[in-house]
Amino acid sequence: MFKKTRLKLTAWYLLIIMFISIFFSFLIYKVLTNEVERFAKIQRFRIENRLQNLNFVPPRPVNSDPDLIIEVKRRICLMLAEVNLFIFMVAGGLGYFLAGRTLKPIAQMVD
């Protein structure tokens, strides 16, 4: 009976921790991808300004490499997934341990 309850309590701990972790991962992803896009835009403006100051007219607007931005976003997502997996494993182990400690006084009372 207590084994099943311990697993349920561990699942609730994990659910709460992973909800918070995924929420913050989403926020981190949005902030970092916005920074990458902002950096690419600033670089493009710097290059255009240098070319205009040297009296060169660029043949076409200078764009940042969209594949590079996509790759950076993919790598950010992958790193956040790895961090969340690590948090899941650590929180699962610690949650199981803490659930046992939480239920220990109740189990002793029943025995």
**19-29: per-residue pLDDT in tens?**
999 999 999 99
What's the pLDDT score for residue 72? 93
Q: What is the pTM of this model?
A: 0.77
What's the pLDDT score for residue 77? 97
Q: Is the pLDDT of residue 54 over 90?
A: no
Rounded to whole angstroms, how far apart are CA atoms 74 and 72?
A: 5
pLDDT one-digit tens code per residue, 87-103: 999 999 999 999 999 99
The better pLDDT of the pair 32, 1 is held by 32
